[in-house]
Structures are given as structure tokens and as C-alpha cells.
Amino acid sequence: MRTQVAIVGAGPSGLLLGQLLHRAGIEAVIIERQSAAHVLSRIRAGILEQTTVDTLHAAGVGERLRRESIVHDGINIVYDNQHHHIDVRKLTGAVVTAYGQTELTRDLMEARGAADLPTYYEVQDVRLEGLTSATPLVHFNQQGEPRRIECDYVAGCDGFHGVSRRSIPAGELREFERAYPFGWIGVLADVPPVSPHAVTYAHHARGFALCSMRSLSRSRYYVQCSSSDRVENWSDDRFWDELSRRLDTKTAGELITGPSIEKSIAPLRSYVAEPMRWGRLFLAGDAAHIVPPTGAKGLNLAVSDVRLLAAALVEHYRERSDAGIESYSSRALSRVWKVERFAWWATALLHTFPDTDDFGRRMQEAELATLTQLESASRGFAEHYAGLAF
């Protein structure tokens, strides 16, 4: 088959890119190694920056988001049994929006299906060929049958473990990584959020905790755990007890608990691959970078990649200009490293590290006091949390 852009990966990055290109009249085929049901079953982020919300509306998939999302105008910071509210709206004029990644993915899938656009799920043996030629090829098997896509460009939206980044020769790629000595155990439960219009981040000697939400009746909570821990070690009772211990007394008293409907452990790492373009292959989202989830930046950063890439491809096909294509990697990486810095800093500030000495703990306490008591520090945090301007 022949198309203009072959997109590898049908997660939110690939689907959003396909939708933006479709609305611009550019042909794209999407392939995905998992089933559609599996893609929808992934429990991921749920906090959207305003630029992400704007991009989804521009893609024509914002109607349910507009109806069902919940606006957050601030963020809570808990430490030393104290509860501090940072008013993001007041400090920046911006807000963030609570809307689960699963729902966002569903909206994009339904839009693609309604337009009858080609998407191939459960593909195997994906191989990219001729990425520096005028006509790259994407080979794959589906239901035991070999297939091939001829295209102008390939967009690698297939995540950290996908084939796209691995198709760049080792000598052409630089990788930067920081692994953290802990993970997050997360619980999804059909209980009202402890704070319906703000996310709560807690720093405690026992470890970090996070209170987030997916709706007014569904909550997502996390606690820091060992990187070698296992889900089986965490009963619901143990999880709720540990979460309560790490919150301030008032917030813990308002916490409503219930049976978990999903429970998983996520490792934390920072990772960046450079460049994000090689020949006619572009990397976007987790294929190019991973941020620790502190600050809820992963999905938003992926959307900013897609926004830049879609604009570059539209400029190429409509205006016959390759300026956006040539600058894609440098522009994307400029934003990536700023976001990586914020997520790295927030992770270092809020978590308990096994090798932190007394001096380091005092520095964390001083940094938290500065963040919550000095308006300029609160404003800087709020600006990064709400999302950097394009």
C-alpha cells in the first residue's frame, strides 16, 4: 500500500498525529502491535495542560473532553503535616484539566473509526527500511500475511520499547538516562477524590504520595515504593493505610477508601534520545523520551511533539517548505530538556532517597519551605506545572 505518512504506534501520540494530518488532508496509515482493547486497557496519565486541551480541540476530538473533564486551578503540597495550596490560576492565569488518558485515546480511536481511516492492530515483525531514501518502507505481518507500506515519511510513536528508535544506527543516536531507586505503586478506585479540584503531592519521611483523580467518582492514588517491590505485597488495606500516613491529618481524615479496580507498580526514569529525526524517520513521545511521572508531563510532552511534527508535515505538503522538518528535532528537544529538568527537580524534591543524609533532608525541607512560602518560587512552579508556552 502507498501513503504519505506511516505512523508506527496507535497510542495517543500516533492517533493524535493521524487525526491532525487527516484534518489537514494528509494521508496516514497507522500500525500497532497490540490489540485495540489492550491499548485502551492501559491506565496512564490524567492531567492535561491547556496547550494539550487546545490541540485536542483543534484535532476535532474535544467534545466529550469539554463535557466531562474537570478543571484544576491549583495544586496542593503536603509536608511536615502541613497542607499548602498553590493557586495556579492566580499565579499564571492558566489551569490544568483532569481527563484520563484512556478516555482521550478512546475519543481518538472513535474519530479515526468514524472517518474510516486505515489502522492495523496486532501486527508483528515490524521492520523499517530505506529511512534515508526518498521512499521509506514499513514491513510487517498481520494474521500471518506479509504487508508493506511505501511512504514519504515514518513517524515513530511506538513507545520506549518500539522498533522506531532501534532503527536508528547506534552511531547516530545519543541516549541520556537516569534511573531512580524507587517506583510508584498506583491504585485506581471508584471513590470520590480527596481533593476534587487539585492534585495533592506529599513529601514524607516514609516516602512520596500523590492523590489524583479521573472523575468526581474515580480516583488515582500513588505511594512511593521500592523499585524491587511487587504488587502482590500490597493489599488494599496496606495501600490505604500507607497513603493515609503520608498525608497531613486533615487530608487523611477526608480520604474515602474502597476496593481497587487496578493496581500496578511503575518504575521511575528520565530518558532522552537525540536526535528525534533521522532521515525520514521522526520520533515522538515515549519513543524519544521518558519523564518521571512527578508533575504529570509525559502525555503532555508527547502531545507537544506531535503538535510540532504535524505542523512540520503540513508545511511540507502545503507550502513545499522543509523548514519545519529540518528544525523538528532541535525545537522538540529544546522543550523536552526543559520539561525533563522540571520533572527531575520535582522528583528530587518530593521523594525520599535511600542515600540522602541529614544535610540533604534539611535541603529538601528548605526547598519545600521556599516553594510554598515565596511567591516567586510558587509562580515558577505553577508556570511549569501548567505547561510551557509554545
> What does the DSSP assignment read for 83-116?
EEEEEHHHHHS--EEE--HHHHHHHHHHHHHHTT
Residue 153 in contact with residue 277, Cβ under 8 Å? no
Q: How far apart are CA 51 and CA 49, in angstroms?
A: 5
Most trustworthy range by pLDDT among 39-43, 100-104, 247-251:
247-251
pLDDT band at 285 (very low <50, low <70, confident <90, very high): very high
Q: Is the pLDDT assigned to residue 39 strictly greater than 80?
A: yes
Q: Specify whether the CB–CB gap between 19 and 165 falls below 8 A.
A: no
- pLDDT tens digits for range 153-203: 999 999 999 999 999 999 999 999 999 999 999 999 999 999 988 999 999
Q: For residue 44, what pLDDT is reported?
A: 74
Neighbours of 113 (CB within 10 A): 11
Residue 335: C-alpha distances to residues 58, 164, 301, 330 (Å):
21, 21, 8, 9
pLDDT at 390: 79
Please identify every residue annotated as catalytic: 72, 201, 293, 297, 385
> What percent of the chain has pLDDT above 90?
95
Handedness of CA 31, 32, 37, 39 (dihedral sign): negative
Q: Residue 120 forms beta bridges with which residues?
A: 31
Q: What is the pLDDT of residues 48-84, one digit of tens each?
A: 999 999 999 999 999 999 999 999 999 999 999 999 9
The pLDDT of residue 45 is above 80: no
Residue 389: pLDDT above 90? no
CB atoms within 10 A of CB 331: 19
Q: What pLDDT, on a 0 to 100 scale, did the predictor assign at position 130?
A: 98
- 271-282, pLDDT tens digit by residue? 999 999 999 999
- List beta partners, residue 9: none
Q: Report the pLDDT value the prediction gives residue 42, as an integer from 0 to 100.
A: 80
Span 209-226, average pLDDT: 94
DSSP 215: S
The pLDDT tens digits of the residues spanning 111-122 come to 999 999 999 999
How far apart CA 246 and CA 242 sit, in angstroms, is 7
pLDDT digits 0-9 by tens, 351-372: 999 999 999 999 999 999 999 9
Q: Report CA-CA distances (Å) from 290 to 58, 125, 159.
A: 25, 24, 9
Assign 41 a pLDDT band (cuts: 50, 70, 90).
confident
3-state secondary structure of 168: coil
Strands (E) located in the chain: 5-8, 28-31, 47-48, 70-72, 74-79, 82-87, 96-98, 119-120, 123-129, 137-142, 145-150, 153-156, 174-189, 198-202, 209-213, 219-226, 260-274, 277-278, 281-283, 289-290
Residue 46: pLDDT over 90? no
pTM reported for the whole predicted model: 0.95
Domains and CATH numbers, the chain: 5-72+93-177+269-346 (3.50.50.60), 182-267+356-386 (3.30.9.10)
| Coil vs helix vs strand at 197 | coil
